[in-house]
């Protein structure tokens, strides 16, 4: 099989290429140039491209570089800025996977005559009892990345490979070391690639938008302080509010239009219902036509909580939590899993 392997310059994608080559596939490595600005974090630096190229040389396979910077700006960076302007907390890594690492890459792979694409994600693709392809949790639950690839539908899954999904991270590093790959001990990338560690999110955004101050009030409407930039405040935040001593207070609501932030105690963060839109379903049969019990994960490595999901209108579902849960900031991704906590049922974006 002719496979286009996305090589980010990390150990996981390096071993993915190694395994596919050892299995006898005709592989070509490709590194996507996404962010054209300054970067000292994430997976878009010049050194990462060089690492990917050198691993390809070690494996004696061809290596390509695709420049998807315009697509990255349009689908990831620009929406990231607009989200903050409207008081929403985005998840750029999920959107990068959605629009670049799969949609755009699969499109290019088709144009070049490849049978499939492969990545180093710690997830698996399995077949359920009905014969349908499913995104399934990786073997290493500590590194599982099914959350960030939850949006893949069956047509994409039929042309996607996750070669390291059945391995632990320790297994991956061991294989890389055994074969002398230069990425064997390279640390995992943890940060958003276009946010510099020296300036952070605030430094990135202040060059692209205007910050506005806001008043801070408690849940009874009494003044509690001020913040310099309402656009940087997110639901659930506790640090950086400069509210003085006393009990712990958390952000429970952000309104950028009225420039008002509401804070309260931990109990004020709890909710029974969360609304979700911009939904992704691997199969049309997954859409809830009646109440359906699922496990819900609200962050990349967050805990799963039991809930019931049901249609709440066009492209909106309601999550009714079995037990009250902390509010999830609007703009964040939630993913629904089956009750066995094995495979993805669907997912979406939390709305106000």
Rounded CA-CA distance 179/295 in Å is 39
Catalytic residue, chosen from 43, 44, 93, 96, is: 96
Q: Is 44 a catalytic residue?
A: no
User: Exposed, middle or buried: residue 18 (CB in 10 Å: 0-12, 13-18, 19+)?
Assistant: buried
Rounded CA-CA distance 111/130 in Å is 31
Catalytic residue, chosen from 43, 44, 93, 193, is: 193
- Residue 175's CB is within 10 A of a number of other CB atoms, namely 19
Rounded CA-CA distance 3/29 in Å is 9
Q: Is 43 a catalytic residue?
A: no
Of 343, 351, 273, give the one whose Cα is nearest residue 310. 273
- The full 3-state SS of 194-251, as one line of letters, equals CCCCCCHHHHHHHCCCCCCCEEEEECCCCEEEEECCHHHCCCCCCCCCCCCCCCCCEE
Token pair recorded at residue 129: 């009892």
Residues designated as active site: 96, 193
């Amino acid at each position: 099989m002719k496979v286009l392997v996305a090589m980010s310059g990390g150990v996981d994608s390096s071993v993915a290429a190694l395994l596919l080559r050892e299995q006898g596939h005709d592989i070509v490595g490709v590194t996507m140039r996404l962010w054209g600005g300054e970067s000292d974090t994430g997976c878009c630096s010049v050194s990462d491209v060089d690492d990917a190229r050198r691993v390809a040389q070690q494996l004696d396979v061809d290596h390509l570089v695709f420049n998807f910077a315009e697509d990255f700006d349009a689908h990831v960076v620009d929406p990231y800025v607009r989200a903050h302007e409207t008081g929403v907390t985005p998840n750029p890594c999920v959107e990068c996977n959605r629009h670049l690492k799969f949609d755009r890459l699969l499109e290019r792979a088709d144009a070049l005559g490849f049978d499939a694409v492969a990545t180093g994600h710690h997830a698996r693709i399995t077949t359920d009892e009905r014969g349908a392809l499913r995104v399934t949790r990786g073997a290493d639950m500590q590194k599982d990345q099914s959350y960030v690839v939850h949006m893949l539908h069956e047509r994409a899954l039929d042309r996607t490979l996750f070669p390291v999904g059945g391995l632990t991270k320790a297994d991956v590093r061991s294989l890389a070391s055994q074969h002398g790959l230069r990425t064997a001990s390279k640390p995992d990338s943890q940060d958003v690639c276009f946010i510099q560690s020296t300036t952070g999110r605030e430094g990135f955004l202040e060059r692209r938008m205007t910050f506005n101050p806001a008043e801070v009030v408690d849940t009874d409407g009494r003044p509690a302080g001020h913040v310099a930039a309402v656009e940087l405040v997110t639901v659930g935040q506790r640090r950086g509010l400069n509210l003085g001593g006393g009990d712990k207070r958390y952000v429970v609501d952000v309104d950028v239009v009225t420039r008002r932030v509401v804070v309260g105690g931990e109990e004020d963060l709890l909710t029974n219902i969360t609304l979700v839109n911009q939904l992704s379903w691997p199969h049309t049969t997954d859409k809830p036509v009646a109440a359906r019990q699922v496990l819900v994960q609200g962050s990349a490595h967050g805990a799963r909580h039991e809930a019931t999901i049901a249609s709440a209108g066009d492209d909106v579902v309601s999550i009714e939590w079995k037990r009250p849960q902390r509010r999830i900031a609007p703009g964040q991704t939630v993913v629904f899993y089956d009750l066995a906590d094995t495979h993805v049922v669907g997912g979406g974006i939390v709305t106000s």
